[in-house]
Amino acid sequence: MEKLRTVRGVHDLLPDALHKHKKVIKAGLNVSSKYCYSEIEIPIFEFSEVFKKPLGKSSDIVTKENYIFKDRSDDELMLRPEGTSGVVRAFLNAGLVQDIPQRFSYFGPMFRYERPQKGRLRQFKQFGVECIGISNSMADIEVISLGYEFLKKLNVTDKITLKINSLGDTDSRLTYRKVLINYLNDYKFKLSKDSIKRLSENPLRILDSKNEIDQKILINAPNVLDYLNEESKERFQNVCEGLNVLKIKYEIDKNLVRGLDYYCHTAFEFITDQLGAQGTVLAGGRYDGLSKMLGGVDVAGVGWAAGIERLALMVQSEYINNPDIVLMAQTEVYNHLLLPIMNELINQGFKVEIIYTGNMSKKFKRANKINASFVVLLGEEEVAKKIIKLRNMVLGSEQLIDLNQAIKVIKKTLKNNWSKF
């Protein structure tokens, strides 16, 4: 029988990798809570329209990468490819429009049918924040600052560059769209197949093309910043000045548009050269109008999402889960007597492992391998006298002692390393 394996594009998280993922999530929750963002949890699947409308019918996520299915009620559902649409939908469903602003954080798995590679999977996890209800550019600065402090908490800011751009308001985008189409029409038959399709549907997406020929054509493309109206220019200038005040370094990238239809004004990405082609580790922007796309009233919003897998690849963190104390019996007959001892030691705050099988030589070899500080041994003499044999694995010393006294000895020995004692 063929050995079963994981589906292509997903993977198991063994303890060391999971530890790094949890470190990323913990840092995100810690920093976002200090900015008064409250954690929210949203469903893994939604009605497909929750994503189809805001993401745009021409987006790769909708046309190529979605996991979509019908349930037994014949409703069309989609595994969430991103978190923002679900958070805004939840905001509207909860009737929070009258109680703005709202600040949310979230994390969890997303799903896209992409070509798997380093840092890019078909099931991947994101940590994100959304600030809903503030149209002022100060909110843009706030979420970028939050993202920077999050990355700083993970000690990766020295490996990361912040890139920003402005897409302007609706009028600015329409003006720029016409100019861009005129420019690209001269190269229509040289563009990639995907870009030719986007030329008529959403030409701004071509700016985000990874195709080498497209990128060469775009070198001399019109700059979106040159077509911002005065209000949009002032807004973007305010964002830049805010980042300067915070001493957050950034680069302006005229081709940074983000891949989703609901973005406007500020767009930003934190990128790295440590992960090959998948260099974006955190990205976001402003999405005024997304709530209206989802059937609600116009409410401003800005936020970002970070790739947990990608950040975990950059995080320096060693997973250690070694016991303080190993319990063993000279014969398996006494194994059951180790259980109440284990419970008492755990209740005292120690990490404990019982070694049930093997001769004494193998048991001590295991205790050494997992770096146990102490071994508690039960043999015929110890059971008869209702005591234990306590071995200090660092010093190699042994003593016959009752359990309560042993706890005091262990606590005293480990005091310098254990803040709780």
DSSP code string of 341-407: HHHHHHHTT--EEE--SS-HHHHHHHHHHTT-SEEEEE-HHHHHHT-EEEEETTT--EEEE-HHHHH
- What does the pLDDT look like over 225-245, one tens digit per residue? 999 999 999 999 999 999 999
Supply the DSSP string of 113-127, one letter for each residue.
----BTTB-SEEEEE
What are the DSSP E strand ranges found in 89-239? 102-111, 123-132, 160-166
Residue 364 has a CB neighbour count (10 Å cut-off) of: 19
Which pLDDT belongs to residue 62? 62
Mean pLDDT of 390-404: 92
CA distance 104 to 131: 7
Which pLDDT belongs to residue 419? 42
Which pLDDT belongs to residue 421? 39
Residue 88 has pLDDT above 90, yes or no: yes
Mean pLDDT of 204-210: 81
Higher pLDDT, 277 or 187: 187
pLDDT bin (cut points 50, 70, 90) of residue 318 is: confident
Least confident of 7-21, 92-106, 201-215, 263-277: 201-215
Mean pLDDT of 273-277: 80
Residue 420 has pLDDT above 70, yes or no: no
Residue 156 has a CB neighbour count (10 Å cut-off) of: 20
Higher pLDDT, 256 or 390: 390
Residue 276 has pLDDT above 80, yes or no: no
Residue 281 has pLDDT above 90, yes or no: yes
Higher pLDDT, 40 or 1: 40
pLDDT bin (cut points 50, 70, 90) of residue 64 is: low
Sorted by where each starts, the structural domains of the chain and their CATH numbers stand as 15-169+229-314 (3.30.930.10), 325-414 (3.40.50.800)
As a whole number of Å, the CA-based R_g of the chain is 28
Mean pLDDT score of the chain: 90
CA angle 333/335/339 to nearest 5° reads 145
Q: Enumerate residues 6+ apart whose C-beta is below 8 A from 91.
A: 97, 102, 104, 132, 291, 299
Residue 418 has pLDDT above 60, yes or no: no
Which pLDDT belongs to residue 59? 61
Mean pLDDT of 176-194: 87
Percent of the chain with pLDDT over 90: 66
Instruction: Copy the structure tokens of residue 413.
Output: 């020995």
Residue 77 has pLDDT above 60, yes or no: yes
Please tell me the pTM assigned to this model.
0.86
